[in-house]
Amino acid sequence: MNKMAGAEEELERRSKFLNSLIHKKKSIEQEQHDELLNVRVRASDMPIALQNRAFLCARDHIDSMPSKRLDSKRLALALKKDFDSAYGPAWHCIVGTSFGSYVTHSLGGFLYFSVDKVYVLLFRTAVEPLQH
């Protein structure tokens, strides 16, 4: 019985070790992806897949702006529309080079990041149907 318990402990130890290696590899790949886009996460409780969508959307819109001049309203609208259509309402987006905020958000729906020198706050709030 002792051999069996020891073997189970060893398997558990190896499993944890392999999981930590996989997690480290994914973290490194995510950091390299973020560096390529010149993105820096400032605060987030959003799943990685949604973060990546926001990063790519922001990068694409910034790069497509004429003479690389930032149109913050256009970028905020693009991110809001993209997330509303992909994940349902109600997403909100604030874009600028300097702003303060304090918001309430739905769980898993908050991302504050920078792309180049532009800061983006993207968050979701719960939508309650009106009672008549």
CATH number at residue 91: 3.30.740.10
Q: Which residues pair with 14 in a beta bridge?
A: none
15 and 67 part of one domain: no
117 and 89 part of one domain: yes
SS3 21: helix
Q: How confident is the model at residue 13 (pLDDT cuts 50, 70, 90)?
A: confident
16 and 56 part of one domain: no
Nearest-angstrom CA–CA distance, 87 and 76:
16
26 and 54 part of one domain: no
70 and 108 part of one domain: yes
Nearest-angstrom CA–CA distance, 34 and 49:
12
The answer to whether 50 touches 37, Cβ cutoff 8 Å, is no
Residue labelled with tokens 């309402």: 89
Written as one letter, the residue type at 52 is N
> In total, how many domains does the chain have?
2
63 and 18 part of one domain: no
Helix or strand holding residue 126 (H, E) = none
Predicted pLDDT of residue 119: 97
The answer to whether 46 touches 111, Cβ cutoff 8 Å, is yes
Q: How confident is the model at residue 22 (pLDDT cuts 50, 70, 90)?
A: low
Q: How confident is the model at residue 130 (pLDDT cuts 50, 70, 90)?
A: confident
Predicted pLDDT of residue 29: 54
Range of the domain at 95: 40-132
44-93 pLDDT, tens digit each: 999 999 999 999 999 999 999 887 688 999 999 999 999 999 999 999 99
Nearest-angstrom CA–CA distance, 46 and 102:
17
92 and 124 part of one domain: yes
Nearest-angstrom CA–CA distance, 69 and 50:
26
33 and 15 part of one domain: yes
49 and 92 part of one domain: yes
